[in-house]
Amino acid sequence: MSDIAIGAVCMIASVFLIQTGMHIGVALMALSFAGVWAIKGIAVAGKLLASSASTSIASEVYGVIPLFVIMGLFVSATNMGRDTFDVAALLMRRIRGGLGIATVAANAVFAACTGTSIASASVFTKVAVPEMVRHGHGWGFSVGVVAGSSVLGMLIPPSLLMIIFGVIANTSIGDLFMSGVLPGILLALAFSITILLLGFLRERFVFAAGHVRGEYRGPLEDAPIHVVFLKFLPICILIASVLGGIYGGFFTPTEAGGAGALAAFLIGVARREISLAKLWEVTLETGRVTAAICFLLMAAQLYSQMLAMSGLPYAVGQWLQTAQLTFPVVLVGYLVVIILMGCFLDSLSIMLILLPFVLPVIEGFGTNLVWFGLITIVAIEIGLLTPPLGVSVFVVKANLGDAPISTWRIFMGTMPMTITMALTLIVLTLFPWFSLVLIGKGGWTWW
């Protein structure tokens, strides 16, 4: 068997093993070791395995991972998500479908503190869905809005997917964070417009029994303005300490993670929502999540080295040149493959399997990797909502308990959001300006 064939077999086998339930890191590590063994021998495979374990994460840059993880867990452990939703619901209460828009707005703000879609889906399933159903919204619409808007956690910085992409692609994490702001706002606005249109055009989908004329009555309905301000102040302080520090040039992303973690902890203590038991629980979970991510990064480095040794990326690049395929054709094919893989694999699996193979080919076209990372993340996010896997959908279902709605109805409820995301992906792909203007490269384009 040729080296290229070995690389191709390892790629296909990785998808199969992950589908059978094997841990992503274990699958990639085992197949990469076997692939290098077949290509160069067991001595080289052993040395690369040892090297990936000792040097792949031996940099202070990786300190950003546990810091943002613990910040997100502190935020999830408090009631900041509920307070954000209550404030947004108060402001949007007179708009048709206003609670849906409030959920999107609260998710966007919450995403700027957690960096993961799973946390957003878990929190707002418990916070927003009961309120929306209580005020007459249909179950499908309610859970669809929560599941759909939860993907903002992967796009609006800080984002764990951005950190992992930056590490794999050797791209500035700070630039990725900054470039995600406008696309995140654009997607949140697109979700809000979709909800408004559904409220007028598909009233029976939005409301359980026709148009609900009663106004929203929430915990802040008759509260004085200073109470509303104090409810929203903690999340504003947290966002300012992280994103303000990065964009203002005061912090590196790693330092901003430390500042955010400290701010989230102090806010939780001040609100008396973080006890010693909760602190211990958050610390243990941070260790578990960080260890899992670091193991994945080790596996990803060994996997990329195996692919490089096999010559598969180079062979594909040569084939593209021989076939004279243009960059738009390659790009469309890449995005379609990501979306299709999202139907069967989770976001981390897609990124770890595909990027080491695709990046050498994409760089050959002179592509801006920050923009490429943004559209990659949006395409992966679409996979979080598509059947049969749809990670965000299953998280929502798990947090609903005994609610009278099936998983398939949740998928149907997310369909308008999925279509909106697909249209937003097209806009971001055609107009790189949205992703690059804040890092001073708005003039770059691929067409």
Q: Residue 121 is encoded by which pair of tokens?
A: 């889906």
What is the band of 211 on the pLDDT scale with cuts at 50, 70, 90?
low
- For 419-447, what is the mean pLDDT? 90
The per-residue pLDDT of the chain, averaged, comes to 82
User: What is the full DSSP assignment across 318-375?
Assistant: HHHHHHT--HHHHHHHHHHHHHHHHTTS-HHHHHHHHHHHHHHHHHTTT--HHHHHHH
Residue 152 has pLDDT above 90, yes or no: no
Nearest in space to 24 (alpha carbons), one of 270, 379, 293, 205: 293
Residue 400 has pLDDT above 80, yes or no: no
Whole-prediction pTM? 0.83
Q: Residue 14 is encoded by which pair of tokens?
A: 């990785």
Residue 446 has pLDDT above 70, yes or no: yes
Which residue is listed with tokens 């959920």? 103
- For 212-219, what is the mean pLDDT? 59
User: Range with the lowest mean pLDDT among 36-50, 218-232, 335-349?
Assistant: 218-232
Cβ–Cβ < 8 Å for 62, 108: no
Residue 156 has pLDDT above 80, yes or no: yes
Cβ–Cβ < 8 Å for 444, 374: no
Cβ–Cβ < 8 Å for 393, 410: yes
- Range among 49-58, 170-179, 296-305, 308-317 with highest mean pLDDT value: 170-179
Q: Please state, in angstroms and as integers, the Cα–Cα distance from residue 46 to each residue in 43, 383, 402, 439, following that order.
A: 5, 35, 50, 41
- For 189-210, what is the mean pLDDT? 82
Q: Which tens digits make up the pLDDT trace of 65-100? A: 788 788 878 887 787 877 888 888 787 777 777 888
φ, ψ of residue 109 in degrees (nearest 5)? -70, -45
Between CA 93 and CA 215 the distance in angstroms is 7
**How many other C-beta atoms lie within 10 A of the C-beta of residue 94?**
8
AA letter at 171: T
How confident is the model at residue 218, as a pLDDT?
Answer: 67
Q: Please state, in angstroms and as integers, the Cα–Cα distance from residue 415 to each residue in 145, 191, 207, 393, 420, following that order.
A: 10, 12, 16, 11, 9
